[in-house]
């Protein structure tokens, strides 16, 4: 299917990273089917606080002063609803909406095609994490000016971790130096392009691909509110949090 491309004016705001003025592009990946959520539509269009889940990330990143332009990656057949949603929100930074791939990494790769060649920094964000804040965006941008190629927001692992073989516990894994990675993840554009150029097998996030191609990745504080919607229970929890915020 031909990607649906919607052009709007990107913000003129520029962020100064490592002394060079350049633009910060965001890719919102929203092309997953949401199998574990089990609705009749992609997870990005699950209702949350009276609007589709995807609306939250578009709205928050569009209003984020650190972000200049946004690309949305949608499931096949859902490009038009995503564009209409961006228009409804009166998002001013959404430059295009493209069709995703069969894996998250392929969807990121599709979004990357829409990012201009001279973009300096690219943020990749899961639509499934609706509560993205300006503070976390600011935190992930910081280390890019200090010699890092990529930055992931992380939170401590709370549960005790076990390695199992079938029903049997084989080992209790020390969680001392283990953290859970969230999004948005920030990258110097050339490093992300390099990471996404090769084999995408087994990539669960973009940072792992950039690591594989020799990139230096920093970890910064994530945000406990930035949890991912995976199941119906997650959606119900976020619904309650949003109602409390409003
Ligand atoms: N994603 C994507 N393209 C894919 C798979 C995932 O853009 N082929 C996006 C999802 O839309 C989501 C993020 O990557 O915003 C994280 O993926 P996940 O939570 O696994 O979402 P789904 O793959 O949709 O859910 P499930 O694994 O339950 O099917
Ligand atoms: Mg998935």
Distance separating alpha carbons of residues 241 and 244, to the nearest angstrom: 5
pLDDT for residue 204 is more than 70:
yes
Above pLDDT 70, what percent of the chain? Answer: 91
Size of the chain in residues = 246
Give 122-135 pLDDT, tens digit per residue. Answer: 999 999 999 999 99
On whether the pTM is more than 0.85, the answer is yes
Cβ contacts of 227 within 8 Å, gap of 6 or more? 129, 131, 234, 237, 238
Pick from 37, 108, 128 the residue to mutate for probing ligand 1's pocket: most ligand atoms within 8 Å of its CB: 128
Q: Is residue 224 predicted with pLDDT exceeding 70?
A: yes
Q: Give the number of other CB atoms < 10 A from CB of residue 11.
A: 16
Q: Return the CATH class of domain 12-245.
A: alpha beta
Does the beta carbon of 92 lie inside 6 Å of ligand 1?
Answer: no
Q: pLDDT tens, 26-39?
A: 999 999 999 999 99
Quote the ligand 1 centre to 104 CA distance (angstroms): 6
Burial of 222 (0-12, 13-18, 19+ CB in 10 A): buried
Q: Where are the domains of the chain?
A: 12-245
The structure tokens listed for 23 are 């633009």
Is any ligand 1 atom within 6 A of the Cβ of residue 111?
Answer: no
Cα 118 to ligand 2 centroid, rounded to whole Å: 30
Say if residue 9's pLDDT is above 60: no
In this prediction, residues 91-119 reach a mean pLDDT of 97
**Tens of pLDDT, residues 55-104:** 999 999 999 999 999 999 999 999 999 999 999 999 999 999 999 999 99
Name which residue leads in pLDDT, 22 or 193.
193
Output the average pLDDT for the chain. Answer: 91
Give the model's pLDDT for residue 2.
Answer: 42
């Amino acid at each position: 299917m031909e990607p649906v491309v919607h052009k709007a004016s990107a913000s003129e705001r520029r962020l100064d990273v490592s002394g060079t003025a350049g633009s910060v592009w965001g890719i919102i990946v929203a092309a997953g089917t949401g199998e574990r959520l089990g609705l009749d539509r992609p997870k990005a269009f699950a209702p949350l606080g009276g609007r589709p889940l995807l609306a939250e990330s578009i709205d928050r990143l569009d209003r984020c002063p650190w972000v200049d332009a946004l690309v949305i990656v949608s499931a096949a057949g859902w490009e038009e609803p995503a564009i209409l949603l961006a228009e409804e929100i009166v998002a001013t930074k959404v430059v295009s909406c493209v069709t995703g791939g069969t894996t998250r990494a392929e969807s990121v790769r599709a979004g990357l095609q829409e990012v201009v060649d001279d973009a300096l920094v690219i943020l990749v964000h899961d639509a499934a994490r609706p509560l993205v804040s300006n503070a976390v965006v600011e935190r992930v941008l910081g280390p890019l000016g200090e010699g890092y190629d990529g930055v992931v927001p992380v939170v401590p692992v709370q549960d005790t971790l076990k390695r199992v073989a079938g029903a049997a516990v084989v080992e209790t894994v020390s969680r001392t130096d283990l953290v859970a990675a969230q999004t948005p993840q920030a990258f110097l554009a050339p490093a992300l392009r390099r990471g996404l150029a090769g084999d995408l097998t087994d990539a669960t996030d973009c940072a792992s691909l950039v690591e594989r191609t020799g990139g230096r990745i920093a970890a910064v504080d994530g945000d406990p509110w930035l949890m991912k919607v995976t199941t119906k229970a997650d959606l119900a929890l976020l619904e309650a949090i949003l109602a409390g915020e409003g």
